[in-house]
Amino acid sequence: MFLEVINAKYLNGYKVLLDFNDGVSKTVDLKNELNGKIFEPLRDKNYFKTFSIKFNTIEWDNGADFAPEYLYQIGIKTKKITKPQHAI
């Protein structure tokens, strides 16, 4: 299956919640992944928050991006609550 990021939400620090086209949601911490010249601007958290979804992954205006397969691999699966929880 060709993996695609279909939704992305900034959480905190360098963490992003990503929804993939296979129905899985993962929290990805990119703190230790911002190496190299193209990723230097992303170390500024205000700039880090400015990602958008382009070409099936998250991308920043400077052209920095990560392959969706890599994000899937390093992410931690997150349980999504689809219905409100009610006390019994």
Express as a percent the part of the chain with pLDDT over 90.
88
Length of the chain: 88
CATH number for the region 5-78 comes to 3.30.2020.10
| Cβ neighbour number for residue 62 with a 10 Å cutoff | 14
| Cβ neighbour number for residue 78 with a 10 Å cutoff | 14
- Whole-structure pTM value: 0.87
The two most distant CA atoms of the chain are separated, in Å, by: 54
Domain boundary assignment for the chain: 5-78
pLDDT of residue 84: 47
Task: Read off the pLDDT of residues 5-20 as tens digits, 9 standing for 90 and up.
Answer: 999 999 999 999 999 9
* Confidence band for 87, pLDDT divided at 50, 70 and 90: low
Task: Read off the pLDDT of residues 27-44 as tens digits, 9 standing for 90 and up.
Answer: 999 999 999 999 999 999
pLDDT of residue 1: 75
